[in-house]
Structure 1
Amino acid sequence: MHSLIYLASQSPRRQELLTQIGVKFELLLADPSEDAESLETQLPNELALVYVKRVTLAKLAAAKQRLHARGLDLAPILCADTTVALLLEDVNQGHQNNSSKEVILGKPTDHQDAKRILQLLSGKTHQVHTAVAVLSNPHINDDQPKILVSSSQVTFKSLTDEEINAYILTNEPMGKAGAYGIQGIGGCLISNISGSYSGIMGLPLFETSLLLNETGVQFSLKP
């Protein structure tokens, strides 16, 4: 039985959600010398579900190396990644059948990029995929991580330019996949969700609790 885990994420939402279910954790964050952002680079024609699992496992592998380099005590490592994906109609002139193209909407690079993303999401339904992975024994080379994915649908109301600009001025869209946070002011932009609220926040508690149970980690629902 493990009384503590390492969380390899700087997301305040993930820290809050783990605290909410009584998980004790220590942060295992990247050093300034690590190029953590490069792990989130999308490969050509990569589907969102494939992308979110690949990025999560890459983050977990980097966290394992970090733990070894720092000589930290043995404890399971938890990583997660959230991806927003939107299907766009690809209208082909002269063809009767139009196709859809999946576009991954990551963290905005600046306010103008946040406006672009929010304009794309306006009045549409998009997918939010969050993968969570746990490595139970980082000191065993062939220990295989366990990974689960939560997929949800989020529908935005039709947004005016004034609403988008006002939301961007709060600075909440920055640093968030899809340029919004459902747990904050961004919740005012959403007309409907189907799936996991905590998954849309960044850490699906159902899938996380399953992995913690399998790993033998103590938390509120496990004595």
Structure 2
Amino acid sequence: MILYLASGSPRRAELLQQIAAPFSVLKPPGIDETPLLAEPPLDYVLRMAKQKALAGERQRQRDGSPTGWVLGADTSVVLEGSILGKPRDPAHSLSMLKSLNGRTHQVISAVALLSGGQVRQAHSITTVTFRFMEDARLAAYVATGEGADKAGGYGIQGLGGAMVASLSGSYSGVVGLPLEALVSLMDETGLEYWQTNEDG
């Protein structure tokens, strides 16, 4: 069975490599990621993961690649029921970090596996608490540019990890791909992981 990752995210690719899952990368065109009116955050994240898998499947067909399972994923930072997307600019990034500063939020991460019109989905919800930091320190983090392309304006796997006081749930889900949920789907579909190089 072939696994295609419908994402240009290096973080998601690295997480698949972490569990030694053989895969190929598809880079489908972007989709409209605007939440629907009054759409609950979990519904939104699940919908986005499915839409990304569907976009990946269309790209696979355009490329003429062999059939397989296409993986779409989405992650959102949620504070008091509101979705914090990717920052528009450094000022927006700093504003989001100030809203998260010293507080607890949730990170919802969903995956969708698509093949032959069949879709399987799973998700994780992780509770993250930030330590309190002075505005100058938050501004210094924004200046690094690390969080510019990340939901909530931070990357837990990098310098942003210093802002985290505690975490309950899926660390990999906060990074962008909940491996616990994904591996369960891979077991159901027969997709492989822990594949080693027989020559090495």
TM-score interval, normalised by the smaller of the two chains:
over 0.9
Instruction: Look up the match of 2:198.
Output: none
Shift, 1:86, TM fit: 0.4
Unpaired runs of at least 5, structure 1: 88-101
Deviations 1:184-205 (A, max 9, x none): 0000001010101111111111
Q: Which one of 94, 107, 112 corresponds to residue 115 of structure 1?
A: 94
Instruction: Look up the match of 2:174.
Output: 200
Q: Describe how 1:4-83 pairs up with structure 2 within 5 A.
A: 4-30=2-28, 34=29, 36-38=30-32, 40-83=33-76
Once the two structures are aligned, what percentage of the paired residues are identical? 43
TM-score w.r.t. length of structure 2 = 0.94
Query: Partner amino acid for 2:120?
Result: K
CA RMSD in angstroms comes to 1.4
Deviations 1:151-198 (A, max 9, x none): 000001112111111001110011100100110000000101010111
Q: Secondary structure at 1:145's aligned position in 2?
A: strand
TM-score w.r.t. length of structure 1 = 0.85
Unpaired runs of at least 5, structure 2: 196-200
Count of residue pairs the alignment pairs up = 196
2:75–2:151: 8 Å Cα contact kept in structure 1? yes
In structure 2, C-alpha distance between the alignment counterparts of 1:47 and 1:84, rounded to whole Å: 13
In structure 2, C-alpha distance between the alignment counterparts of 1:67 and 1:84, rounded to whole Å: 29
In structure 2, C-alpha distance between the alignment counterparts of 1:8 and 1:16, rounded to whole Å: 14
